Amino acid sequence: MTTPRRLLSNTVVVVIGSVVQRLLTFATTMVLARGLGEELFGVYAFVVAYMMIFSFLVDLGFERVITRELARHPERTGELLGTGLISRGALSVLAAAAAVTVAWLLHLPALTRWCIFLAALGMPLTVETFARAFFQSRFQMHLAYLLSLPGGLLFLMLAALVLTSGRGLAWVFGAGLFSGVCSVTLILWVALPRMQVLWRLEWRRVRELLREAWELGAVLLIWLIALRIDQLLLYWLRGPGELGQYAVAVKITEALNLIPEAIMVTVFPLLASTELSAPQRFQRIYQLTIRYLVLLVLPIALLVTVERAALIRLLFGPAYVSGSDALAILAWWMFFSYTGAVYVGLMIVRRQQRLVGVVSALALAANVALNLLWIPRWGATGAAAATLASSSFSFGLFCVAAQTRHIMRTCCAAALRPLAAIAVCMVLIGPFAAPGLRAVVALPVYGAALWLFGGIGREDWSMARKLLHPSVR
């Protein structure tokens, strides 16, 4: 198979595999939310968010650097993977011990501590990410998904079995640990003979990897904290029941964020390959991607807002409907999530990680301050509002920064006409009292207003064809 065909095949596999994996995770979340109830589901969400923070100690950005090195130097595969696996194994033990110790020092409830202990036991299982890195460097992502998806399916079935038999939350984490062991055993059983690992730790290689990974790792840590700090604070300030309400809103919007993630699988390599070789095409790819993601996310946000209560009731049950206001706010936060997937990717291509890290740190500080101010008063709705406000703050900082001002100008220009169409749509559908009727009317009105404002036209199809086939005139 030629290199272009391999790239295309790998991209298609990643998109399909990501969709299936995200759907499987979402289905598991629905089963847990309905079976546990909002109080215990809130505890579950807290433990997951808590452990995600400590998972950074296991990675430190190594995985991405090793993936790159595996692609560049396949002859050093055994050496790189051996160093990575040993380092990650040691770091996972350290992170697990830190997670359990901090939970004990914080005097968390006994059930929460027990669930954290079970989750911590599974941290060494993250060594399977290096098998994924190996498959990615060899354009064999179909193996990564074929081997990992059965573990997710097993956890879904075991979780359903645990809940239907009347077992508690600790049994759910036990089921997760068992399914994780089975999944990693299968992955390593297939991957290790191919990887030809040299089981020795080279401190020189560790220092080199750490030197290259720390900057990207710092940015990832900030993002990780920003994604989960609201849930941790909500647990502390309002209790697990309120967190359970908020967690379902977060899960819905995170599921919808699969769209820009899947698109960037293809767009990011295009941006990276055309930045220097074809600057005009580079600019057109960025403009077109931003434009269509904005055109897509705004009506999604509108529909989720209009049907928020019905959507939560359908997916998670009536017990979580009080989290519908938080869902409406997070629906509009998706604008920054969709566009950020592109403009932050562009900044990484242009090696502006340090600026991204500084802006992300400032936005995180604003997020924490607003959560501390608004959660005690408004609970889940306050946490959602803090997320929206801090994302707006981050967007604004990128708009005024000299290095990124021209990038953000494209993003703002792409949003003007769709935002105007959304405003017209909201005014016109307002008289319809029934939410279901509003949803039916919303999309045609949005499309008509967008066409009238010149937000979309016949030239869009021509532009798409030229993007995919540069030889077309």
Calculate the alpha carbon distances from 95 to 52, 66, 174, 299 in Å: 11, 20, 19, 42
d(C-alpha 70, C-alpha 133), whole Å: 8
C-alpha of 229 from chain center = 15
Of 126-130, 183-187, 241-245, 440-444, where does mean pLDDT reach its minimum? 126-130
More confident residue, 263 or 435: 263
Q: Pick from 226, 219, 225: which is nearest to 387 by CA? A: 226
Q: Pick from 309, 6, 298: which is nearest to 140 by CA? A: 6
d(C-alpha 298, C-alpha 456), whole Å: 14
More confident residue, 367 or 207: 367
- Lookup result for tokens 């959507």: 311
More confident residue, 242 or 437: 242
C-alpha of 162 from chain center = 28
What is the helix (H) or strand (E) element at residue 358, kind and residue range? helix 353-378
What per-residue confidence (pLDDT) applies to 410? 84
Q: Return the ∠ at Cα 331 (arms to 415 and 327), rounded to 5°.
A: 165
What per-residue confidence (pLDDT) applies to 330? 96
What per-residue confidence (pLDDT) applies to 451? 84
Tell me: pLDDT of 130 over 50.
yes
Count Cβ atoms below 10 Å from residue 39 Cβ, excluding itself.
16
Of 81-85, 180-184, 314-318, 441-445, where does mean pLDDT reach its minimum? 81-85
CB 26 within 8 A of CB 254: no
pLDDT for 243-269, tens place per residue? 999 999 999 998 888 888 777 766 766
C-alpha of 432 from chain center = 35
Tokens of 204: 């020189």
Q: Which amino acid is at 158?
A: L
More confident residue, 32 or 464: 32
The per-residue DSSP string of 12-80 comes to HHHHHHHHHHHHHHHHHHHHHHHHHHHHHHHHHHHHHHHHHHHTHHHHTTHHHHHHHHHHH-GGGHHHH
What is the helix (H) or strand (E) element at residue 339, kind and residue range? helix 324-349
What per-residue confidence (pLDDT) applies to 470? 46
What per-residue confidence (pLDDT) applies to 12? 65
What per-residue confidence (pLDDT) applies to 316? 93
More confident residue, 393 or 208: 393
Q: Pick from 463, 422, 420: which is nearest to 289 by CA? A: 463
C-alpha of 156 from chain center = 20
Grade residue 3 by pLDDT with cuts at 50, 70 and 90: very low
pLDDT for 325-378, tens place per residue? 999 999 999 999 999 888 887 887 777 777 888 898 999 999 999 999 999 999
More confident residue, 156 or 455: 156
More confident residue, 126 or 452: 452
